Structure 1
Amino acid sequence: MNRAYTGADADCELVCFPHAGGSAGYWRGLALDLAPDVDVLAVQYPGRLDRLNEAPVEDLHLLADLVAEVLGPPGNRPRALLGHSMGASLAYEVAVRLARLPGGEPQLLVLSGRRAPSAAHRRQRFRPRDDAELVDRMRGLGGTQAVLLDDPEMLELILPVLRGDYRALETYEDTAGRLLTCPVVALTGDRDPEAPVEDIQGWRDHTSGDFRTHVFGGGHFYLNDRAGEVTELVRGLLPTHAG
């Protein structure tokens, strides 16, 4: 877990989960924009940057168990979870696990760029035949800088992480049911092939709390081009006091 901004006096805590192949640093811009009102924590998955010597976790349920154990129940301020793409699935699974603890359920769950589980049948799971196909997919989605994919040494470091993340996605089945009571907000881009607008609506079936969607202009990584808009939306959604 990386603390992107240390704010002992911040009104609330926001835990961010990056996409497949991503790292905690992806959320640095959001963290700086929300400072000093929000204490932003970004999850650093095994196998990248300061956790480079650890093997990637190829099971999203196991990874959710590990993250939930580290987080535990929140302290004396409210907590929200935000995840993009693979990170959205992981944020959901972590929220489910935290909800089993007394006082552990987050007060807000924001899911970005991810189909609801009920819509997953409308999409064939991506199973790359080889590394070249995996790299082509990353180029197409736009989440990894092309300069990194073009650098053989960097690619050698990135590929084990990508393989592990996509194996985790290939085998993932969601924890089914209306298991949350917190508000859930689903975000997507209006040209996102991974999370069409109609396919994010089903997230409403996973909470008895409020549900809403918000659509930005852009593709799967609309967050890169709409950073200011995303920041202001998230700021307006976040709980600012406990209770």
Structure 2
Amino acid sequence: MRGRTRWVLSRPGGSADGARVYCFPHSGGSPGEYVRWAARLPGHQVRAVQTPGRGSRMDEEPFTGMEALVDSLVSQVAFEEPFVFFGHSLGALVAYETALALRERGLPEPRALLLSGTAAPHTLRARPSLRGLAGTELVAAIERVYGPVPAELHEDPELRDLLLTGLRADLEIVSGYRYRPRPPLSCPVTVLGGRDDEEPLDDLGAWRAYTTGPFDLRVFPGDHFYFRECPDEFFAFLDGALAQSAARAVLGPGPVAAAHVLP
């Protein structure tokens, strides 16, 4: 049965006339962070995708491969139109693959894709597998490859083990993900990133080849989690992009060479 009881979280409220924005969290991310965006986007309906091994699904075995995750998601979730996908980091790749899977199944596709904090699939660098690592050994490996983790993961072993279960599964998806050439999508694609993030601007802009529709590249002040650092600018832009989508307007095109970089 295709529904949204386990897979999608949301808060009551939001305008029925606005877009439904389904948010796909980053590696180890909580869907709750994205659900809270509803307070900043009252004209729309914010919904966060909750995969096994997260939140109220903590007792379920998490997915460790992209194909199995996306297949289960599109089999069990009926995305309510008009809808838009927003994905950050790993979530951007999951959002993109989900849009492709919907197209392949002849199901309604997102009105637009907003992809944040990750390079286009064909430009991604290979990541080592962390399979078999646990505890402090896993934390050390994560920091070598992906950068510092929150201090709590060093200080609280019980919390560390709880959070690392889902994070390890997510990073296994990342390390096992491989680009497969497929026809481009037709919906507008907007790529967002932080000016101080490690992702090269050219690799973000390389998403241009993944749609025949309008493309826009927006760069905000900040690092990988720029939307936490400059929320006012980010939510103002996101609100406008969602309003355009709900009104069946196309997102304004922006050539890669002239990316919009906010001061």
TM interval, shorter chain, is 0.7 to 0.9
Whether contact under 8 Å (1:83, 1:90) holds in the other structure is: yes
The CA distance in 1 between the partners of 2:12 and 2:147, in whole Å, is 31
Greater RCO, 1 or 2 (C-alpha within 8 Å, sep 6+): 1
Deviations 1:141-194 (A, max 9, x none): 5xx64335532111010111111111111111234223310000111111111x
Aligned partner of residue 143 in structure 2, secondary structure: helix
Whether contact under 8 Å (2:184, 2:209) holds in the other structure is: no
Residue in 1 aligned with 2:164?
159
Residue in 2 aligned with 1:13?
20
The percentage of counterpart residues that share the same residue type is 34
Q: What pairs up with 1:31-42 in 2 under 5 angstroms? A: 31-35=38-42, 37-42=43-48
Which runs of 5 or more structure 2 residues have no equivalent in the other structure? Answer: 1-7, 250-263
Q: What pairs up with 1:1-243 in 2 under 5 angstroms? A: 1-7=8-14, 9-35=16-42, 37-72=43-78, 74-75=80-81, 78-102=82-106, 104-120=108-124, 123-128=125-130, 130-136=137-143, 140=147, 145-193=150-198, 195-238=199-242, 239-241=245-247
Alpha carbons of structure 1 residues 220 and 106: separation in structure 2 relative to 1, 3 Å:
same
The CA distance in 2 between the partners of 1:70 and 1:217, in whole Å, is 37
TM-score for both structures, normalised by structure 2: 0.81
Which runs of 5 or more structure 1 residues have no equivalent in the other structure? Answer: none
Whether contact under 8 Å (2:31, 2:55) holds in the other structure is: no
**Which deviates more, 210-219 or 21-30?**
21-30
The code of the aligned residue for 1:18 comes to: P
TM-score for both structures, normalised by structure 1: 0.87
Residue in 1 aligned with 2:257?
none
Aligned partner of residue 147 in structure 2, secondary structure: helix
Deviation at 1:241, TM superposition (A): 3.5
Deviation at 1:73, TM superposition (A): 5.3
The CA distance in 2 between the partners of 1:118 and 1:31, in whole Å, is 33
Deviation at 1:4, TM superposition (A): 3.7
